[in-house]
């Protein structure tokens, strides 16, 4: 089944201990799509400026991503610049230029409106809601968010959460949203806000899935070569949603498997600068790593 993603397509400048890359392809919708397309058809909604390189559009199209929803507007593309230290956890943001993103008003192409799965990447919850309202009865709606919206758009976010099935967030966001330091209790509080499934992303420490009556903890796959963690979270979500969308009605096992696929996709993301590596891998690479993952996590 098809997935709609509403998010950003950006040009990132990233500095890590291994080097610096300027204006490489980035953005939440980009990372998400490149991961999800390996499992299911992806429809992308985002905005770029007239300066956005044609080669990136060709690259995304070649990967089978439907770009009918990618608006090209007057002005410059959203740019982000960040720097990672040796621990590769939270980057230091050096610059954020919203550019055309500041007026982002997502138009959902008619043919996208029947997408079965929807992923609303981290943008203003009012825009996430607006996009969601245009959809015709999607089966599964997921979203991501960030500390800024939790603090400054709390009301809109809570409205949105009522309509969300799967909520992706990190530990500190879960605590911030609920005021509850314990993660188990925080997840319980968030489930009362709407989402029946919560996936807590812990980066290099794996992830935790909270659903009705069960919890599923996964460690992260261990990597020897980490180059650039940018986009790992969206790539993770792309793996989860992409795999889920291969099912009509994903049950308990499919959901757990999806989380493992999410973890695995994220490992490919961090092994190269930008989405380079995720753009190159095949289903076979994924299956191989899935088997390895099971070997290093099973008794």
Q: Which residues bind a second copy (CB under 8 A)?
A: 17, 86-87, 181-185, 202, 205-206, 208, 214-226, 253, 256-257, 260, 294-299
Contact 99, 71 (CB under 8 A): no
As measured in angstroms, the least distance from the Cβ of 45 to a second copy is 33
Q: Which two tokens stand for residue 194?
A: 């709407």
As measured in angstroms, the least distance from the Cβ of 86 to a second copy is 4
As measured in angstroms, the least distance from the Cβ of 295 to a second copy is 7
Q: Which is nearer to a second copy, 97 or 256 (CB)?
A: 256
Contact 186, 178 (CB under 8 A): yes
Q: Which is nearer to a second copy, 32 or 210 (CB)?
A: 210
DSSP state of 127: H
As measured in angstroms, the least distance from the Cβ of 21 to a second copy is 20
Distance CA 253, CA 284 (A): 21
Residues 170, 176, 177, 179: what is their CA dihedral angle, to the nearest 10 degrees? 130
DSSP state of 145: -
Q: Which is nearer to a second copy, 64 or 181 (CB)?
A: 181
Q: Which is nearer to a second copy, 101 or 258 (CB)?
A: 258
* Sign of the dihedral through C-alpha 197, 200, 201, 206: negative
Helices 252-270 and 28-36, axial angle in degrees (round to 10): 120
Q: Which is nearer to a second copy, 283 or 295 (CB)?
A: 295
As measured in angstroms, the least distance from the Cβ of 171 to a second copy is 9
């Amino acid at each position: 089944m098809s997935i709609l993603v509403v998010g950003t397509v950006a040009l990132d400048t990233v500095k890590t201990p291994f080097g610096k890359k300027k204006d490489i392809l980035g953005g939440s919708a980009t990372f998400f799509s490149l991961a999800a397309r390996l499992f299911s058809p992806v429809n992308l909604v985002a905005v770029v400026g007239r300066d956005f390189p044609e080669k990136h559009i060709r690259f995304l199209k070649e990967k089978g991503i439907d770009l009918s929803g990618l608006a090209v507007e007057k002005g410059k593309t959203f740019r982000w610049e960040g720097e990672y230290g040796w621990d590769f956890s939270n980057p230091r943001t050096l610059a954020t230029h919203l550019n055309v993103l500041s007026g982002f008003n997502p138009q959902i192409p008619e043919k996208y409106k029947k997408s079965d799965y929807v992923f609303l990447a981290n943008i203003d919850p009012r825009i996430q809601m607006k996009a969601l309202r245009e959809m015709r009865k999607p089966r599964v709606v997921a979203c991501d968010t960030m500390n800024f919206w939790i603090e400054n758009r709390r009301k809109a976010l809570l409205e949105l959460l009522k309509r969300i099935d799967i909520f992706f967030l990190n530990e500190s966001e879960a605590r911030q949203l609920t005021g509850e330091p314990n993660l188990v209790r925080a997840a319980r509080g968030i489930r009362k806000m709407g989402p029946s499934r919560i996936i807590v992303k812990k980066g290099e420490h794996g992830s935790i899935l909270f659903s009705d009556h069960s919890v599923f903890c996964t460690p992260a796959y261990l990597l020897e070569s980490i180059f650039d963690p940018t986009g790992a979270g969206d790539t993770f979500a792309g793996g989860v949603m992409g795999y889920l969308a291969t099912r009509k009605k994903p049950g308990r096992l499919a959901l757990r498997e999806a989380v493992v696929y999410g973890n695995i996709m994220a490992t490919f993301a961090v092994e190269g600068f930008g989405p380079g590596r995720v753009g190159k891998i095949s289903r076979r690479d994924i299956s191989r790593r899935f088997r390895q993952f099971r070997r290093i996590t099973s008794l």
